Amino acid sequence: MKFLFKKKEPKSHPTASADTPITVPPIFVVGTGRCGTHYFNQIMQASDSIYPIHMDSMNLDADSFFSFSLWNDLPIDSAAIRRHRHKIIAACGQAGKIYFESNVYMSLAAQLVHEWYGAQCILLIRRPQDVVNSHFVKGWYEDEYFRDKRDLIPGFSPDLNANHFFGRLLPKGDEYERWSGLTRIGKISWWVNALNLEVLKLFEKMPKNSYRIQQVESLDYEAYEELYSNLNVSHPLTQRGFDKIKNSRPGKGKKIKRSYSWSTKEWSEFIQETKTIHEVFGYTACKE
């Protein structure tokens, strides 16, 4: 029997009792994905003071469903997912380590993880056209969505992989009609814009010292040193070691697409759908 997808089992992480207090506030790196989370995770792995976790080692089905429920305002009880991470974060604190999770599925939970664990959040961003291209070759919005009633939350299709369906968010209500008429480049552009803006809204509800925005293009050695300085731990990498990780481009996909291959319609949709985040984050769109 041939399966379309091979289920990836979550990695086992150290845990403490759910009643163990969190003594070391964690850090969550959030964003759209394809924006440098693998790279960020790699440069944190060299430290004995940090316990870095990438989303690939967590339960992607559970995390993507949590993201889906937050996006669609589903009235679910979040106790299970809150307790699961509490036990890992508390265990890291007992070992004298900082829990450092890079997980795009936790983006919409930025305010919650701050309230639950006293977490700090880092929104990792990258030039929008590079993010869109990377998601395009990853197959985002390649699948067909079947919906009869646009005012209802979309139902899960048995033909789709769970974390892909739950993670690839869809517009709500009447916005879905407009979105359905876009090219895949346009659809992905809408999502990159929508998710980043939603995270910024959550940040506005949090104390200013509990979040920061980091452009991956600006994540150089100086920024790396500053990050460790803010964590009050010594950084382990030399400039040479840092550059080696940076130049290896962790998480780079095997396929590449460039914006010069976009049609006029795709480029026009990209410009329209990402106009706000270009202005907010100071990026300039250039077809190349």
Q: Which amino acid is at 3?
A: F
pLDDT of residue 233: 87
Assign domain 27-281 to its CATH architecture.
3-Layer(aba) Sandwich (3.40)
Helical (H) or strand (E) element with 177: helix 175-180
pLDDT of residue 5: 42
pLDDT of residue 4: 43
pLDDT of residue 250: 72
Q: Are 37 and 43 in contact (CB under 8 A)?
A: no
Q: What is the pLDDT of residues 194-252, one digit of tens each?
A: 999 999 999 999 999 999 999 999 999 999 999 888 888 888 899 999 999 888 877 66
pLDDT of residue 10: 65
Helical (H) or strand (E) element with 237: none
Q: What is the DSSP letter of 204?
A: H
* 136: CB partners within 8 A, 6+ apart: 184, 185, 188, 257
Q: pTM of the entire structure?
A: 0.91
Q: What is the DSSP letter of 259?
A: G
pLDDT of residue 144: 83
Quick one: which of 181, 175, 188, 179 has its CA closest to 137?
188
Q: Are 86 and 116 in contact (CB under 8 A)?
A: yes
Q: Which residues of the chain have pLDDT under 70?
A: 1-10, 251-255
Q: Which amino acid is at 141?
A: Y
